[in-house]
Amino acid sequence: MKRRSNLKSSERNTQPVNSAKKLKNTEDFGATSISCPNSKYTAVLLKGKVQLRQEDTKGVKSFPADKSQGRILCHALTTDFFHYGTDSGHVVCVSLKDGKTVSSFTHTVGVREVFPAQRGKHLVFADEKKSGYLLSTSTESDSCLELPDFSPTITGVLWDSWHPERGVFAAYDHEKVYVYALHKLTIYGSWVSLVGSECLHPSKKPMSLENGVLTCQLASGQTSKLTLSTHSYLKQAGSSSSKLSKQLTRAVMLNRLDEGLDLVRTHTKERLLKKLGKACLIHMEVELAIQVYQLSQNVSMVSSLEAIRGIKENKLLAGHLAVFLGEYNLAQDHYLSSSCPLAALEMRRDLSHWEKALKLAKDLAEDQIPYISKEYAAHLEQTGDFLKALAHYKNGLTHNNQEHNEACQAGVARMLITVGDIRGGVAKAIQHPSRVLKQECGALLESVRQLSQAAQLYEMGQYYDQAALVYIQCKDWAKVGELLPHVSSLKTHQRYAKAMEANGKYKVAAQAYKRAEDWDNLTRILLDHLNNPEAAVHVVRQTKSKEGAKMVARVFLLRKNYDSAIRILVLCQCNDEAFKLAQQHRQVEVFAEIIGAEATQDDYGNIARYFEAEKNHLQAGYYFHLGEQYRGALENLLMCDSTEDGLAVDMAIEVVCQAKDICLTDQLIDYLTGKTDSKPKDPVHLFRLYMALQRHTEAAHVANSIASEQLCSGNYRVSHDLLFKMYRELLDHKTDISTEMSTNLMLLHSYLLAKIHVKRGDHLKAAHLLSRVSENIRMFPAHVVPILTSAVIECQRAGLRNSAFNHAVTLMRPDNRKQIQQKYKRKIEDIVRHPHKSEVVDDMTPCPVCGSLLPQNELLCTSCKSNLPYCIATGQHMLREDWSVCPHCDFPALHSQFLLLLKTEKACPMCCQTLGADEVKKISDCSKYLATVNLNRRTTASP
């Protein structure tokens, strides 16, 4: 790119296109002769005229051609144009190609310096008043912008070659460089801003400017580069908020809004985003503004900008952007000079600038004046300027819009009443078809105490509730009576009822109170004036009114009907009053019965404390329990008499379980074990407590103790059922079962099962079962001799003579011999005296755990050392291939033997639940059952 060339009429540094040659210079202006050549042309200024000569021709052109332009004071050549300035203020641009004047601008005073841009679009000139201006010659009408803080010593101007359309240039003198930027397209028009200045060493002569880097020629002929401070932010990352703000300001002043967006994108600070967003709006950069406001999450602004992003007309776009910035007068100017001037009117209407809107409408759209007048009148009505509002409502009347006219007429009616023309306003309201207007005018009339006319308008508008209220104020009872069927307001009925009561018309008042759903006053009227307590009770029962209940209760008290008084109070949830009444008349038990499950914890507490004071500890404990006051409940229950002991302990167990309080649990355990009063209670209670608390290990220990007591007492069925229940509980909770419990249950079941087989005539099974029991006869102290006797007899019948002899020998011991019944004594003695030790061999069957053969009645495998599961139907150990279980208790049984037993028995021998043979199913895989049996390697020891 060729450098521009400027040689001026005074001594200064220049940058010619190819070279600059100074021919002559004297103090006398008229004698000055200067040549300003480019590659083809040379210009010489002499005595106020310039001779322009083309190098390869002999033709010479003289300027100015028009003497009226005055004397030329300065001139400059660029590649394509010749520029000059005159003492009369003319700044002229001539095309070198055809010699025609491209542009001509007349300044107010003489022009002493011109600094054109190389492409000829812009030119900086200095006038005789030492002011500087930027002249744009590329527009249809030349624009001249004053340069702020222009130095009178400027010797040259360099235009930034990096994006020249951004209009950045630098003016310099011998000491400083001044950086300017042209803001060509903004909502405020075009202007030039001083971006900054920087000191320049006198030895440096500026040659070119590109992207803020100034290239200078030194005295030695070499060049050096200087990055201007105005552009230094491009190479320095800002860290602090203040530094970022300064960098953003420079970017905006240099027309580099896109770079400003990059700055704030990495530091999304609200203040910086707001600043950049405003700059984008001012410079009419809609797309950039959308991105900025998206970063700040300003949804409304983004939506507004999206709506106008397609507008191409600058004036119209500038108007919209000025509105966004609150520059409404500026926006109006832009709208009026655009292709859509009505936008100015719409803006003023949207802003409620009614006076300005009316002025615009007179010039732009007279047909809109009535509508604006109506809107203005509505605004004035709200602000209280009623006379002016009345005038604008009248001005709003038109001839072609009925709905609009009705709105204006309604406004006229309201304003007439407001300003005091009652008759005119009422007449307008009556004539108007709107019900709402009649209500509004009625309210206005009511506010100025024009009650009869207000009521009339309310009635005409079918606002019967309000009409009735106003008629009540007027005491026009006849009118009120006519309107009551149409009245829905409870308040209106209530006011009418009070008026009728004040006039002594109690029946009418009662009916009105009923329509008003004022149940308390209705109850009062029925009791106090109409003497109808039955109807009052009915009202209270239906409505559950608390105040009504209290009034009815007072009537029952006068009749000493305490039960009904308490009941009605409880029904209406007046629990405190009901309790006080019950306490005064010793009817607390009645109160407790009536309140039932509806009581609150406070109610239960009051009842419990009453019974506690009356020494009724069982009831006190019961209600403390319901009130969740567990400590008080337990203390009272443990103080109960012995006659109530069982019920009290049962309740105490429930209390402890719900309380989940270790202290209370220990207190109850101490009481049951006798630590509190040295009187141990029935261990069944302790067992039930442990079960309720799910402390199964302790429960099992107590169950064993109870079962042992029952065994000693000979209550074998009770002991069996207790152990069975405990066994099932422990299995369900996956708790280890002690060997003692499982052994005791097996022996008890063997004894009870033997009795079944004796009855069935199966003596072999009975003999084996009784032999098992006899081997543990110490567990059956109450029936040692009967059990051994039965064992001898059944073994003898089954051919187990050796077993019969062994049992007979035990019977013949001195402590047992005396208890043998006489009818069996001789036979048993013969067995002992003449022993036959032959024995039927027990069948050998496989162990279900390891498969080794062992006698079928043996429950301990000698190979795997396992305690084997036994059949509840025979007492024999289980077989894998013949496995079934009771569907009720899940205890195992040999399938074939269980079916045989159920032919004669109707219940399971273990759980005693009714059972049919068709309910028993054979199980092919018994692995999960074997996993639950009590094997000999179980870690739980006998307690």
Helix axes 314-324, 342-350, angle to 10 degrees: 10
Determine the Cα–Cα distance for residues 677 and 673; give it in Å rounded to an integer: 9
C-alpha angle 271-274-278 in degrees, rounded to nearest 5: 145
Determine the Cα–Cα distance for residues 521 and 543; give it in Å rounded to an integer: 13
pLDDT digits (tens, 9 = 90+) for 384-438: 888 988 888 888 888 788 888 888 888 888 888 888 888 888 888 888 888 888 8
Token reading at 348: 């003023």
> Residue 680 above 90 pLDDT?
no
Q: Specify the pLDDT at position 132.
A: 95
Determine the Cα–Cα distance for residues 113 and 603; give it in Å rounded to an integer: 105
> Residue 511 above 70 pLDDT?
yes
Residue of 489 and 593 predicted with greater confidence: 489
Q: Within its chain, how far is the Cα of 193 from the centroid?
A: 51
Token reading at 437: 């207007």
Q: Specify the pLDDT at position 47.
A: 87
What DSSP line would sit under 684-731, residue for residue?
HHHHHHHHHTT-HHHHHHHHHHHHHHHHHHT-HHHHHHHHHHHHHHHH
Determine the Cα–Cα distance for residues 251 and 257; give it in Å rounded to an integer: 6
Determine the Cα–Cα distance for residues 6 and 115; give it in Å rounded to an integer: 7
Q: Specify the pLDDT at position 238.
A: 57
Band the pLDDT of 39: cuts 50, 70, 90. low
> Residue 26 above 50 pLDDT?
no
Question: Rounded to the nearest 5°, which phi and psi values hold at 934?
Answer: -85, 90
Q: 888: which residues sit within 8 A by CB, 6+ positions away?
A: 908, 911, 913, 915
Task: Return the sign of the alpha-carbon dihedral for residues 662, 664, 667, 669.
Answer: negative
Mean pLDDT of 251-274: 86
> Which 3 state secondary structure label does DSSP give 422?
helix
769's enclosing H/E stretch is helix 763-774
> Residue 87 above 90 pLDDT?
yes
Task: Return the sign of the alpha-carbon dihedral for residues 726, 727, 730, 735.
Answer: positive
> Residue 624 above 50 pLDDT?
yes
> Residue 764 above 60 pLDDT?
yes
> Are the beta carbons of 766 and 793 closer than 8 angstroms?
no
Token reading at 818: 């005396």
Q: Specify the pLDDT at position 556.
A: 66
Share of the chain above pLDDT 70, in %: 87
Q: Specify the pLDDT at position 598.
A: 63
- Write down the H helix ranges in 184-341: 241-253, 257-266, 270-282, 286-295, 299-308, 314-324, 328-336
Q: Specify the pLDDT at position 315.
A: 93
81's enclosing H/E stretch is strand 81-86
Q: Within its chain, how far is the Cα of 259 from the centroid?
A: 40
> Residue 448 above 60 pLDDT?
yes
Mean pLDDT of 882-903: 93
> Which 3 state secondary structure label does DSSP give 40?
coil
Q: 67: which residues sit within 8 A by CB, 6+ positions away?
A: none
Q: Specify the pLDDT at position 1.
A: 33
Nearest residue to 192 via CA among 181, 204, 202, 200: 181
- Write down the H helix ranges in 775-918: 784-798, 801-811, 814-817, 822-833, 895-901
Determine the Cα–Cα distance for residues 293 and 285; give it in Å rounded to an integer: 12
> Residue 683 above 90 pLDDT?
no
Output the pTM of the full model.
0.53
Determine the Cα–Cα distance for residues 425 and 430; give it in Å rounded to an integer: 9
> Are the beta carbons of 830 and 851 closer than 8 angstroms?
no
pLDDT digits (tens, 9 = 90+) for 636-657: 888 887 666 678 888 888 888 8
Between 33-42, 65-74, 240-249, 515-524, the lowest mean confidence (pLDDT) is in 33-42
pLDDT digits (tens, 9 = 90+) for 771-797: 999 998 888 888 888 988 998 899 988
Computed over every residue of the chain, the mean pLDDT equals 83
pLDDT digits (tens, 9 = 90+) for 664-677: 888 887 887 778 77
Residue of 208 and 835 predicted with greater confidence: 208
